[in-house]
Amino acid sequence: MTAPLLEVADLTCEFRDRGRTVHALNGVSLTVGAGETVGLVGESGCGKSTLARSIVRLLVPTSGRLLFDGQDYTRWGERRLRRLRKDVQIVFQDPMTALNPSWTVRRLLLEPLVLHRVGEPERRLSQVLDEVELPASVLGRRPGQLSGGQRQRVAIARAIAARPRFVVLDEPTASVDMSIRASLLRLLRKLQREEGLTYLFISHDLSTVRHICDRLLVMYLGRVVEEGRTESVFDRPAHVYTRVLLSAIPVPDPAVRRRRLPILGEPPSPTAIPTGCPFRPRCQMAAGECERPQPFYEVGPGHRAACRLARVEPSGEAGTPA
């Protein structure tokens, strides 16, 4: 089996806030193979962006390991990280906060080329503009003088300028309207084909994730609770939380009614993580055994879920702990 390009192993990330410990990530493990697009979904506050920032080492995790191409970079210093960041980049949700508003597009795009010592930076600058389908006329403008779609294309261009191998896309289409979103998704897929990129695609938009991702991870309260091939997770969701999320996807046909599954209350505070299954306090199907930590059960090829209901497949055969 080919080793994954990125491996996250039992990652935890905690913060102190007003004397309390915030448990942002609680033992997250995942892998991303070269050339894959892996989706990560979950409601706001579940830890998706904390995980994104940890992977690119804008945050230092409390414990666990981060490996890229077999190298453990969890505790690397800034000098070694600079070499890694040529290969590992991130695109943030809001380009207005990610791009320096006082810099021109030329300066924004030249900076990573100079920093990573890319040969012939002016030539590469022209190439990357073509790749993200922006005219050369934007080079003299500042982010505030661009449309929302243009700004996000600049953010994407900045991330891929030094030809990375892996890009974290943290809600990359959330700040634009639907028509621009479609063009950005088409652009991301084109860049992946042409540049051989690998993506971790973080989103709350399940329809988008189904369209673009090979595999899917479902996250709740700082933990991955289900993972599998995208179609498998959509067709046979095994964790109750995944079923709740999928039942909330809007249906474009007003004549079709989707039955939304109930969910109890609000998400627990990350300062007081429930024992056992983290979804237990909001789950109408919770039982006494849910108060104990739930192992992952294999529910299909490459598809597993940390839920007692995943033990029994639709065929009636018991699932096996992963």
pLDDT confidence of residue 9: 97
Instruction: Over range 61-81, report the average pLDDT.
Output: 95
Dihedral of CA 245/248/252/257: which sign? Answer: positive
pLDDT confidence of residue 318: 44
pLDDT band at 53 (very low <50, low <70, confident <90, very high): very high
pLDDT greater at residue 252 or residue 273 = 273
pLDDT confidence of residue 264: 83
Is residue 260 predicted with pLDDT exceeding 80? Answer: no
pLDDT band at 255 (very low <50, low <70, confident <90, very high): low
Q: CB–CB of 251/272 below 8 Å?
A: no
pLDDT confidence of residue 268: 86
Is residue 126 predicted with pLDDT exceeding 70? Answer: yes
pLDDT confidence of residue 312: 62
pLDDT band at 258 (very low <50, low <70, confident <90, very high): low
pLDDT band at 38 (very low <50, low <70, confident <90, very high): very high
- Structure tokens, 99: 């791009």
Instruction: Over range 86-100, report the average pLDDT.
Output: 93
Instruction: Report the range of poorest mean pLDDT among 76-85, 106-115, 143-152, 256-265.
Output: 256-265
pLDDT confidence of residue 254: 61
- CATH classification code of 6-213: 3.40.50.300
Rounded to whole angstroms, the Cα distance separating 221 from 46 reads 4
Average pLDDT of every residue of the chain: 90
Is residue 81 predicted with pLDDT exceeding 70? Answer: yes
pLDDT confidence of residue 321: 58
Annotated domain spans of the chain = 6-213, 249-321
Rounded to whole angstroms, the Cα distance separating 94 from 190 reads 22
Closest by Cα among 187, 190, 162 to 173: 187
Instruction: Over range 44-71, report the average pLDDT.
Output: 95
Q: What predicted TM-score, i.e. pTM, was given to this entire model?
A: 0.90
pLDDT in tens, 207-253: 889 989 999 999 999 999 999 999 999 999 999 999 999 988 776 65
Instruction: Over range 287-293, report the average pLDDT.
Output: 91
pLDDT confidence of residue 266: 84
pLDDT confidence of residue 205: 85
Instruction: Over range 81-87, report the average pLDDT.
Output: 92
pLDDT band at 317 (very low <50, low <70, confident <90, very high): very low
